[in-house]
Amino acid sequence: MQQPNRLVTSNLRWTRSGVVWADYVLTGIPYGYRPIEDRQTARAMHKMLLRALPGESLLLSVAVSLDPMTIVERMERGVDLDLHPAWADECDATIDRLEEIRPGQRIYWLSIPLANHGFGDTIKSATSAAWSSVADLMGMPPSSIPVEERERRAAQAAQIAAAIPAFYDATPATPSQMVWLHQHALQRGLGLDTDMPTAMEHPAGTARGSFTAARLDEGAQSDRPESGWRAKAPTLSRVLKVDQPWEVTPPPASYQCFLVLAATPSGGTLFPGSEYLTLADNLGGVDVDWAIRFKNSAASEVLKKNRRALVQMNDQYTQREDELSTGSVLDDAAVALAEYNALLEADAMEMEVQSTTIFCVAAADEETAIAYQRELAKEFEGSTYRLQAPIGFQEELFWAMTPGVPTPAICNEFAQITTSEHFAAYVPVTRNDLGDGDGPLIALNISSARTGVVHHDIAKKASRDVSGSVGVCGNLGSGKSGYLKTTGNQVVDRGGQVIVVDRTPLGEYALWAEAITDAVVVDTAAPDVTMDPLRLFSPARGGEVAVSILLPLLQLQPDDRLGVLLSQVLEPEYRARFGNFTTPGLVSHLESECTLDGARELAGKLKVYATKSYAAALFRADLQPFNPRAGAIVFRTHTLELPSEREVENEHLFKQMSLQKRVGRMMYTLIAQIARGICFADPNTLAVFLLDECHHLTRSSEGVEIIIDFIRDGRKHDAAVMLGSHDPEADFGSETLRGLIPTRLVFRQTDRRLAQKSLKWLGVGENDLDLLKELMENTSPVEGKDGFVAPHRRGEGYMRDPAGNVGRIKVLLPASEARYQAASTTPKESTTERAAELATW
Amino acid sequence: MTEQQASSRSVVKMFTKARNFPQLIGKAPDGRKIPGGPYTLTQFVGAGIAGGLLWLTQSLWAQGSVITNGAIFLGITGGTLWVLGRLPQGARNPISVVRGVGRAATGAMSPSKINGEPIRIKRPHAVLGSVIILDTPPIHGGAIGEPTAARAPRERAENAAAPVELGNNAVPDAPAFRPLTQPRPERKTVPAPARPRADDERQRTQSPALAEAFDLANLAPASSVQQLLAMAAAAPTPTREKA
């Protein structure tokens, strides 16, 4: 058979059979882990799609491996690699890693033959097609199609496209995309695909020669040995070999196996759960293309056919009345016919959907292709669907999967009929995309076995008016800190800044930060730089911050005597008169120079803290301020003590609070203030405030306010906050804060209550038992008695992106060796994380 | 599963069997029961064809007595009936299955097709035919060399794919501008500059710019045969020294 296209223009193809086909590229409806209501909507969308396609149509789903270079290009987009060599290294290392993972995606392609209206129309297109064949035979140059005809067909196609629900974003295919599809069909299973050209590239027509000729060899007869009896005997193999041996450098041959859906579960399946086409994605590492040939007919026509079937059925009962039992077959058929008729009669808009589903697996050699074929059939058998590879019809099925070819006869033999309402429950056109179109690669999308990639660009979120902030929750050692470090690393490598609060006694984050950049580590216990706001901030802002932290520390009211005095002496003008004293200077100033009322008293109160070692970062005079422009600034807070919730809420306990706890509380607020000051300072540099175990900060209302500030206003200043926690409800402060975090990640939660809370926060059904079980037991599961997570299972979790898509992910640590070491190494004997579980993944 | 979820689940099925159920024949048109029935349509047609063929070809096989012949006839027809009765009901159309198997079996014989055109591969054969190569005697400023000289070596340098010109007089031109004092050149052919190796199609298609730049006679060898000849001529194999 010849390739079917005669002339291709915009999204229309005039074919050799005389029929004009219109091609569209569809976008899948978000599905996967969406809540049940959304899946119902997806089903309704499919019903509308089917009803918009009367007559024949071809729905193709093409599995393409994503080229690692394409993914890396997305990672590099918008970053000057000369200025950020570390990011360039990371991107380079990612290429190698992606080569192993081979992530992919699905492209949906809808091809509709345009009906001929009236007898004259049919004759005209048939003559035109016949003439072109004759002209070809005689070697005459191909003739074009008159402009009026082209316009008429374009209008006809547009009319159909207008009926397709907008959710599918049906984009007219371009000739270059059609050529790409043709090329893909010739090299399935070889991993040679380029990215599908975008609609913007080459919108003009394409020469017929672009549809490369190929040799289709059913049964791979050309692979037989040259001599011996095998050279003459047929191979009887159910494989189609596609190659181009005459090329100067012939591409490797593609061995393709085609299977047809022969039977579905006889009792029906439950929706959700009926999405049989997703089974094709369950073969890890195998690209399965599929196509559905539809023939949809209106209810009135179908009822006529059904009436005929009823007559036949009655006749069958007569023919078989002498059998002891007519068998369940005929009775089943009678029940089905009655139900089918009832469905069609109940809904005037209902349609019959006649579908033939064809699957194609391919490989670079025959054995592998056949093995895939068996594997796929087995996979479907597991769900009681039966696939068949009809011998002798592989080439016909190849053409059945090609737009522009009339439905081959073999398709009718495997046709399944049902109503549009029922077929819609198979929801073929779906996607599980997560995250952004470009930006750093944070995870693999493992919602199905067809691994996808998840990009998450915190910086770009701001320009899209969404906060880039992220919330992460999960058990200890579930991959939380690994994710936070990796993302922090990406921010630094792309020219941003991270400010980290490190609670761990061994300085896990401090070590990490020092390994990746010129980090400033501020140890509140043994400081070598000062945290004095009067030295870090501008005089005016510094005064405000100092007042805001010293008032609660000294338990003063802003409007009482000493409170007013403190505000007074920290006024910039006042400080300027006395040589811009700093916080340590404030104490001596109040003691000696200050003549205001109560100065000595205030000095006395301050001195209580000024001499304490745990407040040295604020009160020691011999320290220098740190560089607020450093790539990473880490505040080590492991020695700080914090008041319990009861102490904060209960007045008499609050008054009795120990000095350490008061200082601890003050320090956290100061850190948040400093972080806010640094992050909001430069609207052109991304700055991220990274807080693992964030309950230390969210425990105080000031802390929650500052974080909400980050999320609300951060996008204007290119600032974001990343929060890590165990319990999203208890630790992410208020309801407002929980709701405001747009990007949410949930890692393993072994406790039922915490898992439920996490799922609720994620926005999927907290009562979905399957999902709950999966989160608790099958997400980076701890196997064996020594609590070890298998290396390939580390970092699994769920993600909800700002668009509301939910999917299962596997977080990736940095690809480059040094960065990987930095992010994955946990100091030994760490008490906050279990070293064994985080050592490598 | 919660109540709410269970209620939102619905059964989905195909109604194919409502219209595609096995068609059996158990009764004659007059309502009488057919013995041994009911039969599937396949059985009916298959056995009918077998019986019909046997009936028509009696002269070939009916050699024995009436009893033997009757036994053979009934045996084969009945056998066909039985075998066809074993086929699974409601499966694929048996004719199509037979067609598929037939196609797979004969596929080995038919030539492979490219874009619908059958390709018949000829048997390997030798390319014969002897050629006499005449050496041109050295001519000082000779007449034959004249046009070559006029054509100037510049064109050769530019037209890298044209190492030798194949004029009407099938003899390689001797360089006409050779100084008189020099002895006879050792080789009659000029070693070809390496062909430009481009990865794209440029190698196969001829650039239109090139076609415009030179008149037809000076064109680079366009056809593959010409290219082959050019390469052969350019190869540094010593030509037979013949006067």
Q: Which of B2, B4, B16, B200 to mutate to test the interface with A (most CBs of A within 10 A)?
A: B16
Please indicate, yes or no, if residue A78 is contained in any of the structural domains: no
The reply to whether residue A234 touches residue B106, judged by beta carbons under 8 angstroms, is yes
Which phi and psi angles does A119 have, rounded to 5°? -70, -45
Pairing between β-strand A386-388 and β-strand A430-431 as defined by DSSP bridges: unpaired
Check CB contact of A319 with chain B, cutoff 8 Å.
yes
- Partners of residue A214 in chain B, C-beta under 8 Å: 114-115
List the pLDDT tens digit at each of the 243 positions of chain B: 444 444 557 889 899 888 888 788 888 778 788 777 778 888 888 888 888 988 888 887 777 788 888 888 888 888 888 888 887 776 788 888 888 888 888 876 777 777 777 777 677 777 877 787 887 776 665 444 444 444 444 444 444 444 444 444 444 444 444 444 555 445 444 444 444 444 444 344 444 444 444 444 444 445 566 666 666 666 554 444 443
The pLDDT of residue A809 is 92
A368 and A512 share a domain? no
Residue A362 and residue A492 share a domain: no
Are A573 and A510 in a shared domain? Answer: no
DSSP readout, A453-521? EEE--HHHHHHTTS---EEEE--TTSSHHHHHHHHHHHHHHTT-EEEEEE--TT-HHHHHHHHHS-EEE
| A432: in domain | no
Nearest to A288 by CA among A304, A272, A276: A276
In whole angstroms, give the CA distance from residue A452 to residue A103. Answer: 5
One domain for residues A261 and A147: yes
Distances (CA, A) of B182 to B138, B177, B178, B185, B190: 11, 11, 7, 8, 17
Q: What is the pLDDT of residue A325?
A: 66
The answer to whether residues A233 and A365 belong to one domain is yes
- Of the three residues A565, A585, A616, the one that is the final residue of a domain is A616
A269:B13 CB<8 A = yes
Q: Which helix (H) or strand (E) holds A431?
A: strand A430-431
My answer on whether A523 and A543 are in the same domain is no
In this complex, is the C-beta atom of A329 within 8 Å of any C-beta atom belonging to chain B? yes
Can you tell me whether residue A50 is helix, strand or coil? helix
**Residue A123 forms part of a structural domain:** yes
Residues of chain A falling short of pLDDT 50: 205, 829-841
> Helix (H, G, I), strand (E, B), or coil: what is residue A722?
strand
Decide if A94 is inside a domain.
no
Show residues of chain B in contact with A213, CB under 8 Å: 114-115
DSSP lists the bridge partners of residue A635 as: A501, A522
pLDDT 10s digits, A324-370? 665 677 888 888 999 999 999 988 889 999 999 999 999 999 999 99
Tokens standing for residue A254:
């593609």
Task: Find the DSSP H helices in A347-430.
Answer: 366-381, 394-400, 409-413, 420-423
Shortest CA distance from B26: residue in chain A: A319
Domains: count for chain A: 3
Last residue of a domain, one of A396, A426, A456: A426
Q: How far apart are CA A400 and CA A279, in angstroms?
A: 21
Regarding whether A648 and A591 lie in a shared domain, the answer is no
Instruction: Please give the residue of chain B at the shortest CA–CA distance from A329.
Output: B21
Q: Both A319 and A237 in a single domain?
A: yes
Q: Answer whether 0.90 is exceeded by the pTM.
A: no
Q: Is residue A174 located within the same domain as residue A265? A: yes
Residue A35 shares a structural domain with residue A154: yes
Cis peptide before A272 (omega within 30 of 0): yes
Kind plus residue range of the DSSP H or E element containing A298: strand A288-298
Instruction: Output the pLDDT for position A79.
Output: 87
Cα separation of B216 and A355, whole Å? Answer: 59
Per-residue confidence (pLDDT) for residue A327, from 0 to 100: 64
- Asked if A234 and B9 come within 8 Å (Cβ–Cβ), the reply is no
* pLDDT at position B165: 45
Torsion-angle region of residue B143: left (phi > 0), alpha (psi -120 to 50) or beta? alpha
Are residues A316 and A293 both part of a single domain? yes
What ipTM did this prediction achieve? 0.76
| Any domain includes A461 | no
A393/B21 Cβ within 8 A = no
A454: in domain: no
- Residue A122's domain comprises 5-66+102-426
Contacts of A222 in chain B (CB under 8 A): 112
How high is the pLDDT of residue B163?
A: 45
The CATH number of the domain holding residue A792 is 3.40.50.300
Q: Is residue A800 part of a domain?
A: yes
CA–CA separation, A488 and A688 (whole Å): 8
> In terms of domains, do A657 and A583 share one?
no
Q: Which of A553, A586, A616 is the last residue of a domain?
A: A616
Nearest to A468 by CA among A150, A135, A807, A715: A715
- Check: CB of residue A435 under 8 Å from CB of residue A454: yes
Whether A384 is in a domain gets the answer: yes
Locate A95 and state its tokens: 């290429």
Give the model's pLDDT for residue A787. Answer: 67
